Chains A and B, each alone.
Chain A
């Protein structure tokens, strides 16, 4: 059984394959730190107040040396490392989403300025909390944070502006849909209409597999068949729909329905496997 995981390409060491041992193990102390950070109670973090100048300074710290308006892949990875956001898994996707990234592992100054002012974020620990909150809510499906009784009084005590978070918590299905759709356009190279199947599989493994157990079977099918070259937008959208409609015993699937052929083939494959 192959193991799927998604990882932003590491540009510091020029590693592309998630199968390479380095990605996971290169900096064990960092990973430990990340774990430690995860178990932290957010309120323990030192709450720094949002300051636009600091936010900009933070951007400049990671910006490309030859293009001060852009954080490139190397800067992005450093940013993630420093904010203790794991590159493999959904966290880096969530960060890109929250910071309005247009391309994989790239952040523009304009988008950064806008996003940080909405989130009221100007430090790395704040960024970390933003991403972890959403990861808990949408990927790990933990119950949403409790809103304290009186908004106005306590708001200033929050590590960042949770306005967005509360709207996500209100309709987490819609929020997940947003993240899911965003991930496709992020991973899609500009002129192309599709993302290659390898990338798609990696994204599905971090976005859908943790939530929908059937998805890991779909991914096994895709890798076993090895005939699918790319995922188009329709397949991408329908995959989420499929996960939401069909359970692990294929209840909810209807062969007369307009599922993409890949999913029809998957169902046939699964049924014949069960039969034998």
Chain B
């Protein structure tokens, strides 16, 4: 076995094989009852033993890399030699060994296996001993490679292969058994790996030059390196354990760190890094939950900040609806895009996003000051978009912009507030003829209907019907009254549909307008007897042609302004109280009406409470518009909206409870509350005290009663 390089000729091989054969078959030489095979086997055993012992002696003087080098060399020679010997004693392998094993002596092996067993028991185990010199040397080399040194990989590969080969299952010598490899190499290797990457990762993170992106890339690098290591010289069994260990040390141990730093990645929109992070965290349990939580918190935070910024600039009463909506959409765009890009379009992330978004859209710095402000601003923005001559948007972009509004609308909890403001604004657009296009109006209504159902938009639809019916009515009336000397347009609007209120004060119709007024009144009563017409003077407007000036102007004025101006057909100067008596307009409104006319220089107010007609009025334009919204109206309008909303809510809650109880007959308090919230939340988020009050009202009205002895159960009273 020591002169392998010389090889064996075929004839020599044959003669040796024959000698072994003869020895085994010639029973005469045997002195042992177990036969000659056993003698031969024992000799071989002794031979391998002595060879291994001498090799061990040599190896024991070395350690570290030189040890590995020598070990590899000796191992190579030993195994090659053993293979030759195995061939020579093939007869023994074929006859005697199987016979012995059949008898149950599993300690008897094929010759080659015997050689390995000898190596394992008399060399390998002793050398490993307590100090596990061999494995230590291997791990040292791997460690050096991990630190970036070039090492002799073939050395490592051979030694590790020997570990694999030495795993021998006595009962089934032909099947692979990795006991030696697993115990002597894989286990310490795993521990070393854990310690190594624990150290490396901690060091890396602690280094201020590195940020989260660097770490994520580093993980990728490390993981790849370890995968390669398996391919290069480890047994493939180790792949899973190794991967698992790396994930534990590199990802799980730093999951908190990663999630905490996800914020900066989110803020900077680093999609690739986030995707890496997502894929890493998906490998560990609860990893994605942590990330999702962070993500939600970040969305909410970004939203709150954006809203505060809008508020900070302008103050609660001056918040620009468009700025608000733009800020919300910006947050929406920034963060919703990340989900398909980086988070694998994970639906759980979508849910987190939606929840966070809805959280801050409904509860933020602005709603803290004014509860209903969020839906109000969104509705006002929609109004600005849909108005004629909107400067916000080109006509062909209008549809896209409306879709964006709808994106936000879906998150709004108080959809009833939105509807109220929207209805109010639509009413204004319709009566002032300020709609940009009927098509867009219809499109917006159908979008709202898609989200909230037919009932939600029924009133809006009716408003359009009223407007088109009014057009026919006007045409019809004009035809019948062709002798009229003034132009006349009228809108007849259903009281229960339109959110418009008649003036709270009287109004004396100017003499000049009375004929038309009575004529129409008469005409309408003929057509629809029994209907009551209420004139909304506060929403009317007129055009007046001047005849007292050298240049003829057309004044566009509100009916109140008209009433004032018409007084000057008979007088040149009038006091405030004269005007008030003549028009019956409430003083606080009248002063505002006059204010506009004075500012427009039609009237002169040199002395207190006295207004003179300006005979020298001049304007660059022939048509002069004095019809500006009166401030006083705008504020009370907003309050009015909230009042109607609150009233509507009360009835909606009560109606819902009755509907539920009618179906269920009897219900406990908690499930009833849950059911009511579930049924109403598509309109607004009812508070529990609100629901309780509604229940109390219904108990009082005897729609409900508490059942006999259960304090918490209600029954429907038929």
Contact = CB atoms under 8 A, between A and B. Distances in A.
B706 A261 contact: no
A264 B689 contact: yes
Contacts of A232: 696, 699-700
Q: Chain B interface mostly helix, strand, loop or mixed?
A: helix
A256 B695 CA distance: 15
Nearest to B696: A260
Contacts of A234: 696, 699-700, 706
A23 interface: no
Contact of A241 (B669, B700, B711): B711
A11 interface: no
B712 A257 contact: yes
A109 interface: no
B712 A261 contact: no
Given A193-B700, A232-B700, A234-B700, A258 B689 contact: no
Interface in A235-276: 235, 237-238, 241, 256-258, 260-261, 264
A194 B700 contact: yes
A241 B710 CA distance: 11
Interface string B690-701: 001101100111
Nearest to A261: B692
Contacts of A258: 669, 692, 695, 706, 711-712, 714
Contacts of B669: 257-258
Contacts of A260: 692, 696
What's the interface size class on B, roughly?
10 to 19
A238 B669 CA distance: 14
B714 to A, nearest CB: 8
A230 B702 CA distance: 16
A263 to B, nearest CB: 10
B670 interface: yes
Nearest to A260: B696
Interface in B181-223: none
A30 interface: no
Interface string B148-162: 000000000000000
Nearest to A238: B711
Contacts of A238: 711
Contact of B700 (A233, A256, A261, A264): A233
B522 to A, nearest CB: 45
A237 B711 CA distance: 10
B329 to A, nearest CB: 39
Given A234-B706, A256-B670, A261 B711 contact: no
Contacts of B696: 232, 234-235, 260-261
A159 B693 CA distance: 50
A80 B17 CA distance: 137
A38 to B, nearest CB: 37
**Among A234, A257, A264, which residue has the most Cβ atoms of chain B within 10 A?**
A234
A194 B696 CA distance: 12
A237 B695 CA distance: 15
Contacts of B711: 238, 241, 257-258
Interface in A15-74: none
Which of B689, B711, B712 has the most C-beta atoms of chain A within 10 angstroms of its own C-beta? Answer: B711
Nearest to B699: A234
Interface in A147-162: none
Given A232-B700, A258-B692, A258-B714, 17 more contacts: A193-B701, A193-B702, A194-B700, A232-B696, A232-B699, A233-B699, A234-B696, A234-B706, A235-B696, A237-B706, A238-B711, A257-B669, A257-B711, A257-B712, A258-B669, A258-B711, A264-B692
13 contacts: A232-B696, A233-B699, A233-B700, A234-B699, A256-B670, A257-B669, A257-B711, A258-B669, A258-B695, A258-B711, A258-B714, A260-B696, A261-B693
Interface of B: 669-670, 689, 692-693, 695-696, 699-702, 706, 711-712, 714
